[in-house]
Structure 1
Amino acid sequence: MEIVEGVITPTSPSWAHEAATEVVRRQLSRRLEQLDLVSGSGNLDLPGSENWYIPDLAVVPADLAAKTEGALLPDQTLLIVEVSSPSDAETDRVVKRRRYGQYGAPLYLLVDRQNRSCTLYSEPTRLGYAEVNGPHPFGTPVHLPAPFDLDLDTARLGGAAPR
């Protein structure tokens, strides 16, 4: 369960949603091991707001994850990935993009299953993000900058678009 702008929102992703998340996770896995990072969907707190997020995937330093029992802050992540669903696509596109930027998450990757595209947001600001790379249609590689420095293959994200 997440809290988005004060509204309690149940999280129960579909298998197609989970499959898209796994496509990203698998491509990151070797690089995460090299950099001593871990990925997961742990809680993110946005203090001073009515928000408590559970991203589809967040990447954090392994030592930080190992000693944190509660929530982390978005600025403690290195990458946040949200995969849109029909019920929450606008939240991922607008609200979370703005909030993750405001709370200092350095990179936010939106896998937009409804629009069949990926967009990478970087350079967080008080209003969201200053840099927008995309949207890129599924099948177009998306470059994840340092510390990842890898091209994400998005072709396998292109399963049937959810309705």
Structure 2
Amino acid sequence: MTTARDYSEGIDPERALKYVIQHFLGDRTEIVEGVVSHVTPSWDHENAAEEIRDQIRPRVKELDCVTGSGNLDLPDSPNWYVPDLAVAPKELAKGGGALVPDQTLLIVEITSESDAETDRVVKRKRYAEYGAPLYLLVDRAEKTVTLFAGPGRLGYTKVDGPHPFGTAVRLPEPFGIDLDTSGL
């Protein structure tokens, strides 16, 4: 006689949960340190993302990349993120699945009241650990923008900011542009 236990042996719970989120729970569901949440951004939050997207779009096209808020998997961890904005090479984005942070060129998180500390601390640490080359934190509560670069296992080694809204923030190569933060 086969039991439920027989079926559960050999199943990777992390993989199973990430599969359910990717295929059944919608496009704005993420797992942060094992906690599942559905992200519903406000209009001012979306406006900030759009302001950044509009400014980087010409350079993103030159780099043959795309912008979006697609799924990011952090393998061997209880994390599955949906960034507010990310830039990834077009050929990697065509696969339909999740990317890993080190496959991006830039990740942007825009804080909300409910997730500010997650974006400031947890995601910054995890994005660095998983090799995201640039992490731009738009902190709406503090009205600041901070750019993190030089990812490593212990965090980012370079920090530019926090800069108050209205300050031009330089996005280094491959972007090589100044980001106007006055509309955030």
**Which TM-score applies when normalising by structure 2?**
0.84
Deviation at 1:147, TM superposition (A): 0.5
In structure 1, distance between residues paired with 2:61 and 2:98: 22
User: 2:153 is matched with which residue: 117, 126, 130?
Assistant: 126
- The answer on 1:38 being equivalent to 2:66 is yes
User: 1:135 is matched with which residue: 162, 167, 170?
Assistant: 162
In structure 2, distance between residues paired with 1:4 and 1:127: 18
User: 2:133 is matched with which residue: 94, 106, 109?
Assistant: 106
The percentage of aligned residue pairs carrying the same residue is: 65
Deviation at 1:9, TM superposition (A): 1.3
- The answer on 1:153 being equivalent to 2:180 is yes
Root mean square deviation of aligned Cα: 0.5
Regions of 4+ moved over 3 Å: none
Deviation at 1:35, TM superposition (A): 1.3
- The answer on 1:83 being equivalent to 2:110 is yes
User: 1:144 is matched with which residue: 171, 179, 182?
Assistant: 171
**Deviations along 1:95-140, whole A, 9 cap, x unmatched?**
0000000000000000000000000000001011011100000000
- The answer on 1:49 being equivalent to 2:63 is no
The unaligned stretches of length 5 or more in structure 2 are: 1-28
Count of residues paired in the alignment: 156
Match of 2:56 in 1: 28
In structure 1, distance between residues paired with 2:179 and 2:143: 15
Residue 125 of structure 1: SS of its match in structure 2?
Answer: coil
In structure 1, distance between residues paired with 2:60 and 2:143: 26
**Which TM-score applies when normalising by structure 1?**
0.95
Looking at secondary structure, tell me which structure has more strand per residue: 1
In structure 1, distance between residues paired with 2:130 and 2:89: 18
In structure 1, distance between residues paired with 2:118 and 2:60: 28
Deviation at 1:156, TM superposition (A): 0.5
In structure 2, distance between residues paired with 1:82 and 1:142: 15
In structure 1, distance between residues paired with 2:129 and 2:52: 24
- The answer on 1:6 being equivalent to 2:1 is no
In structure 2, distance between residues paired with 1:31 and 1:124: 22
Q: Which has the higher contact order (CA 8 A, sep 6+)?
A: 1
* AA matched with 1:99: R
In structure 2, distance between residues paired with 1:136 and 1:12: 26
**Higher Cα Rg: structure 1 or 2?**
2
Deviation at 1:86, TM superposition (A): 0.4
